[in-house]
C-alpha cells in the first residue's frame, strides 16, 4: 500500500548570510575610499611651528571668539554683520589679507561655521586657525 504524500511546508526563511557579506564589503570599501576623496577637496593650513614667521607681504588680522559667543576683530568687540563689512573693506584694500581665527575650545561649532561662512563669502584664501602648542 502506498502512503499518501505529505505536503511539504514552503520554505519561508530568508538566508541573510550573503546579504550580510555584501554589506560588510561595501562598508569596507566606503570606509577606505571616503578619506581619499575628502583629502583631495580639503585644503588645510596646519599650525605653524615655533620657528615659523608670518608672511611679510600680507596684512594679518585676528578674529577671536569667546566661550560666550562674543566676536572681536583685532581685540575690539564687533557684531557679526559689522565684522563682515569690516573684513570686506580690509580684503578689498589688500587681497592677500590673512585671517587668524582664535577660538575658545568650548565655543559651539555652529558659531565657528558661521564665521567660516563669512570668510568664504568674502573669498578670503589665507585663513589660519590658531592653536596653542603643548
53 assigned to some structural domain? no
122 assigned to some structural domain? yes
CATH classification at residue 77: 3.30.420.270
Q: Model confidence at 50, in pLDDT bands (50, 70, 90)?
A: low
Please give the model's pTM, rounded to 2 decimal places. Answer: 0.54
Q: pLDDT at position 21, please? A: 92
Report pLDDT digits (tens) over 64-76. 888 778 888 887 8
Domains: count for the chain: 1
65 assigned to some structural domain? yes
101 assigned to some structural domain? yes
Sign, CA torsion 109/92/97/64: negative
85 assigned to some structural domain? yes
80 assigned to some structural domain? yes
Question: How many Å apart are CA 85 and CA 80, to the nearest integer?
Answer: 9
Residue 106: domain span: 60-129
Ramachandran angles phi, psi of 14, nearest 5°: -100, 135
Q: pLDDT at position 110, please? A: 87
79 assigned to some structural domain? yes
Q: pLDDT at position 47, please? A: 40
15 assigned to some structural domain? no
Q: pLDDT at position 133, please? A: 63
Ramachandran angles phi, psi of 13, nearest 5°: -90, 145
Contacts of 63 (CB under 8 A, 6+ apart): 71, 72, 73, 83, 87, 99, 100, 101, 102, 115
pLDDT at 51 over 60: no
pLDDT at 41 over 50: no
Sign, CA torsion 114/118/121/125: negative
Amino acid at each position: 500500500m502506498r502512503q499518501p504524500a505529505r505536503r511539504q511546508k514552503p520554505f519561508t526563511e530568508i538566508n541573510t548570510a550573503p546579504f550580510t557579506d555584501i554589506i560588510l564589503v561595501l562598508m569596507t570599501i566606503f570606509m577606505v575610499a571616503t578619506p581619499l576623496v575628502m583629502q583631495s577637496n580639503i585644503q588645510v593650513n596646519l599650525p605653524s611651528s615655533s620657528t615659523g614667521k608670518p608672511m611679510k607681504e600680507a596684512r594679518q588680522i585676528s578674529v577671536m571668539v569667546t566661550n560666550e559667543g562674543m566676536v572681536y576683530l583685532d581685540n575690539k568687540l564687533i557684531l557679526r554683520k559689522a565684522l563682515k563689512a569690516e573684513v570686506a573693506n580690509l580684503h578689498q584694500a589688500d587681497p592677500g589679507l590673512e585671517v587668524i581665527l582664535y577660538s575658545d575650545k568650548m565655543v559651539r561649532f555652529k558659531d565657528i561655521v558661521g564665521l567660516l561662512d563669512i570668510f568664504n563669502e568674502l573669498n578670503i584664501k589665507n585663513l589660519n586657525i590658531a592653536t596653542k602648542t603643548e
